[in-house]
Chains A and B, each alone.
Chain A
Amino acid sequence: MLQPLLFVVVVAVAGLMAFRSFRRIYQNIHLGKPEVITGDVAIRRKNVLLVAFGQKKMFKQWLPAVLHLCIYVAFVITQIELVEIFIDGFTGNHRIFAPYLGGFYTFVISFIEVLSVLAFVATITFLARRNLLKIPRFTKSELDGWPRLDANLILFGEIILITGIFCMNGADVVLQKIRPDHYPDTGFLAISGWLGPVLFGGLSEGTLVAVERFGWWLHLLTVLAFLNYLPYSKHLHIMLAFPNVYFSRLKPRGEMDNMPVIMNEVKSMMGLVEESENATEGGEMSEFGAKDVFDLSWKTVMDAYTCTECGRCTEACPANITGKKLSPRKIMMDIRDRAEEIGQHIEVNHTPFINPEKGGDVLTVENYADGKSLFDYISREEIHACTTCNACVEACPVMINPVVPILELRRYEILTEAAGPQEWVPMFTSVENSGAVWQMPVARDAWTQEA
């Protein structure tokens, strides 16, 4: 009786805590501007199937792809066992599915065990790749501190999870021989079938029961801890990868988002529209582009929360390759960090950050002003270095687009602050005044004379 009670309490507390964290993430994503995501639903579904479920873009590098696939498939299939753990936990039963499913049960659990072993191998390899081999994308400075610890912690968590599974199944197999009434026959399990007797054979019944329960609780608690850890970790991608791929841009890569306010302004200057058509819109609009999370689309903020910090974008970035400060991964991490910062302030209603001009008693998205912006995270040097080559977009396994925020920050700098690289000014002037990127003394068709 005690165990189901304990189980209910633990699951309820962990569930509630996780719910609050996930709500916070949802709210932080919606610090971004509303944007209606359009485009063919069929293509979106196909992307989710191929890119999120099928891991298609991972297979540009086969070794990490195969290893990642092992952990991913093991994770997904283990959920079946987790369902049983939950039912057993609530009802106080033991392996409730075993007697009903028979041979199929043996197959499923054996499958999970084999995948767990593969996941174990992958985990050890990943730990080595991250910590022993000098792989450039894992040694960049933006990973210093929490991101690097986070990546390692989760790999240790994976090892604990696998330990739990094999304690549980290994002791169980031995117990089945001793107390068949309470430990239903699971059939011969692929790994525990022989590993169990090797490790635990000859132990007393009491010890075996303790080991089995230890494994069971270890597995459950690790899963619950993981659930609560996710919102603070790059591993949030195991959830967000799916919606993020679904909502990813279907527009042509080369298309920059239009700015209708400026378009209408220019049209009225050119006499293409009636003055009045324009007057209502944008009359007092003075800020263009993005200086903070509020100015980015919610989709870009979701991109930032989905980032796995894998660094494939940075590895492909020509600016980064040639030693410049720009790292598209860092851009995404900065956007997330800034969103977290704002979200926390709003959550605790930190009233000194209320913009006195806007007023109010409660700190909200509308009156938020902490005197900082994304430019406190991202330097000008970084955004100026981008060649818009889209190598980062191509490389990202979860369809993140770092070019969109980079260009929005540029727009803010140029249009709102009238700042930006001085060397660009002559180009702007030429385009505006002489219709060419260079100031040219000759006519545009002068070349035809020599043709």
Chain B
Amino acid sequence: MQIPVLAELVSEGKSPEILFWVGCAGSFDNRAQKVTRAFCKILHEAGISYAILGNEENCTGDAARRAGNEFVFQMAALQNIQVLEGYGIQKIVTACPHCFNTLKNDYPALGGNYEVLHHTQLIQQLFLQGRLKLKEGGPFKGKRITYHDSCYLGRVNGVYEIPRAILAELDADLVEMKRSKSNGLCCGAGGAQMFKEDEPGDKRINMERTEEALSTHAHVIAANCPFCITMLQDGIKSKEKQDDILVKDLAELVAERL
């Protein structure tokens, strides 16, 4: 699979329909890279014309901003906006809800206005347009799947039903956790928590969420955020339940059935 890079396409005189914003986790984190590749596979299968920025991409600055470091955020953001302006980008898709939120909600005040989609939104559109054809069967057909709402896709941006609609396409047997949708429980990574230890308390937030997920007796936890995946995976590892339950991004579940 050849991943199209924007600078190269432009030099060939082509302009893709949509920019795939990979994000720091999607670029560097081993686990998240698998999601990135799975999503690329989906884009290829659906015949979408897309490109990545490659080395011209920069951190969106979400974590720095939420930690309180506006200075570092502004530097990252303005740099990105310059690059995006340079290419005249209008439409962006990303597999990270933090990138999604920052590009969509934080950048306009700095002069960056784009149509921003989370990858689950694009996948659902592709299903609706009939551009994705799933193979029969697959490893998760009829298996119990629970869905973890990330805060930044769910409560912060109000997207609850689209990921569930994708699970319906997969014929999975969705079992909801006790706290879901607008009452969903955070994985513990947002607001720059990912980059430090939890404050002292009775337990770590990801353990609380992992226990809740395990109590559904699902075979798979479907997620939509690289940080949620890390947090839940860590929780499952410390519970030694790796053999019982898998943490998968929705893009991975879809890609496995293509």
Within 8 Å by CB of A262, from B57, B74, B203, lies: B74
User: Which residues of A lie under 8 Å from residue B205 when comparing CB positions?
Assistant: 318-319, 321-322, 387
Residues of B with C-beta under 8 A to A282: none
| Shortest beta-carbon distance from A49 to chain B in Å | 21
B: interface residue count bin: 35 or more
What is the distance, in angstroms, from B68's C-beta to the closest C-beta of chain A?
A: 3
| CB–CB A253/B57 < 8 A | no
Interface residues on A, range: 35 or more
Partner of A414, one of B61, B68, B151, B186: B68
Contact of B195 among A410, A412, A437 (CB under 8 A): A437
A390 CB to nearest chain B CB (Å): 5
Determine whether A436 belongs to the interface, using a CB cutoff of 8 Å to chain B. Answer: yes
Residues of A close to B190: CB separation below 8 A: 387-389
Q: Are B37 and A447 in contact (CB under 8 A)?
A: yes
CB nearest to A320 among chain B residues: B201
A427 & B191 in contact (Cβ 8 Å cutoff): no
Give the chain A neighbours of B176 by CB distance below 8 A: none
At the interface, yes or no: B144 with Cβ under 8 Å from chain A? no
CA distance A251 to B156 in the complex (A): 11
Q: Once the chains bind, are A445 and B54 in contact (CB under 8 Å)?
A: yes
Q: Mark A413-451, 1 if CB is under 8 A from B, else 0.
A: 111000011011011101110011110101111111011
The stretch of B101-109, B127-135, B215-223, B245-253 in contact with A is B101-109
A386 within 8 A of B: yes
User: Is the CB of A274 closer than 8 A to any CB of chain B?
Assistant: no
Decide if B147 is an interface residue (CB 8 Å cutoff). Answer: no
Asked if A326 and B199 make an inter-chain contact with CB atoms under 8 angstroms apart, the answer reads: yes
B67 touches A254 (CB 8 A): no
B197 x A390 contact (CB < 8 A): no
Closest chain A residue to B58, Cβ basis? A435
Q: C-beta contact mask, A251-280 vs B, less than 8 Å → 1, else 0? A: 111111011001101110110100000000
Which among B11-19, B75-83, B163-171 touches the partner chain? B75-83
* Cross-interface CB contact of B208 among A321, A431, A440, A443, cutoff 8 Å: A321
CB neighbours (8 Å) of B55 from chain A are 443-445
B156 touches A436 (CB 8 A): no
Residues of A contacting B27 with CB < 8 Å?
436, 444-447
Contacts of A448 in B (CB 8 A): 3, 5, 52, 54
Does A420 contact B67, Cβ atoms closer than 8 Å?
yes
Please name the residue on chain A nearest to B33 by beta carbon. A447
* Whole-angstrom distance between the Cβ of B157 and the nearest chain A Cβ: 6
Chain B residues whose CB sits within 8 angstroms of the CB of A259 once the complex forms? 70, 74
Measured CA separation A402–B78 after assembly (Å): 28
Contacts A318-B185, A448-B3 given; indicate if A428 touches B151 (C-beta within 8 A): no
Count, A-B residue pairs, CB within 8 A:
222
Q: Which residues of A contact B1 (CB under 8 A)?
A: 451
A276 to chain B, nearest CB (A): 19
CA distance A381 to B197 in the complex (A): 12
Q: How far is the CB of B100 from chain A (nearest CB, A)?
A: 9
Q: Which of B161-216 contact A (CB under 8 A)?
A: 182-186, 188-205, 207-209
Report the separation of the CA atoms of residues A411 and B64 in the bound assembly, to the nearest whole angstrom: 10
B161 to chain A, nearest CB (A): 16
Contact A428 B101 (CB under 8 A): no
Q: Are A323 and B201 within 8 A (Cβ)?
A: yes
Contacting residues, chain B, for A323 (C-beta < 8 A): 201-203
Which of the residues B37, B82, B194, B201 comes within 8 Å of A324, measured between beta carbons? B201
How far does the alpha carbon of A372 sit from the alpha carbon of B206 in the complex, in Å?
36
- Using A252-B105, A323-B201, A436-B27 as known contacts, say yes or no to A451 and B195 having CB atoms under 8 A apart: no
A385 at the interface (CB under 8 A from B): yes
Min Cβ gap B81→A in Å is 10
Q: How far is the CA of A289 from the CA of B5 in the complex (A)?
A: 39
Question: Cβ of A321: which chain B residues have Cβ within 8 Å of it?
Answer: 185, 205, 208
Tell me the bound Cα distance from A270 to B64 in angstroms: 19
Instruction: Give the residues from 12 to 37 in chain B that come closer than 8 angstroms, CB to CB, to chain A.
Output: 22, 24-28, 33, 36-37
Task: Report the separation of the CA atoms of residues A251 and B109 in the bound assembly, to the nearest whole angstrom.
Answer: 11
B59 engages A435 (CB within 8 Å): yes
A384 near B: Cβ within 8 Å?
A: yes
**A325 proximal to B (CB < 8 A):** yes
Whether the pair A266, B104 counts as a contact (CB closer than 8 A) is no
Contact call B76/A431, Cβ cutoff below 8 A: yes
Is the C-beta of A302 less than 8 angstroms from some C-beta in chain B? no
Q: Chain B CB within 10 Å — which of A252, A322, A412, A451 has the most? A: A322
The verdict on A428 contacting B186 (CB below 8 Å), with A255-B106, A387-B151 known, is no
The answer to whether B64 and A254 touch across the interface, beta carbons within 8 angstroms, is no
B152 within 8 A of A: yes
Do residues B66 and A391 form an inter-chain contact, with CB atoms below 8 A?
no
Question: Is residue A334 within 8 Å, beta carbon to beta carbon, of the partner chain?
Answer: no
Cα–Cα, bound, A432→B79 (Å): 11
B61, B71, B196: the one contacting A421 at CB < 8 Å is B196
| Chain B residues, CB < 8 A from A440 | 28
B24 neighbours in A (Cβ, 8 Å): 436-438
Is B68 in contact with A413, judged by CB distance below 8 angstroms? Answer: yes
Closest to A270 in B: B78
Check if A384 sits within 8 Å of B71, measured CB to CB: no
Cβ contacts under 8 Å, A326 to chain B: 199
Kindly report which residue of chain B lies nearest to residue A323, judged by CB atoms: B202
Please, which residue of chain A has its CB at the minimum distance from the CB of B182? A394
**Given contacts A266-B75, A427-B195, A436-B58, could you give 6 more A-B pairs where the C-beta distance is less than 8 Å?**
A258-B110, A319-B201, A424-B67, A424-B192, A431-B75, A451-B36
16 CB contacts below 8 A, A to B, read: A253-B155, A266-B71, A267-B78, A318-B185, A324-B199, A414-B68, A415-B68, A423-B195, A428-B69, A430-B59, A431-B61, A431-B75, A437-B195, A445-B52, A447-B26, A447-B33
Which are the 4 A-B pairs with shortest beta-carbon distances?
A323-B202, A410-B68, A388-B191, A323-B201
Q: Which B residues lie at the A interface, using CB under 8 A? A: 1-3, 5, 22, 24-28, 33, 36-37, 40, 52, 54-55, 57-59, 61, 63-72, 74-76, 78-79, 82, 101-102, 104-106, 109-110, 151-152, 155-157, 182-186, 188-205, 207-209
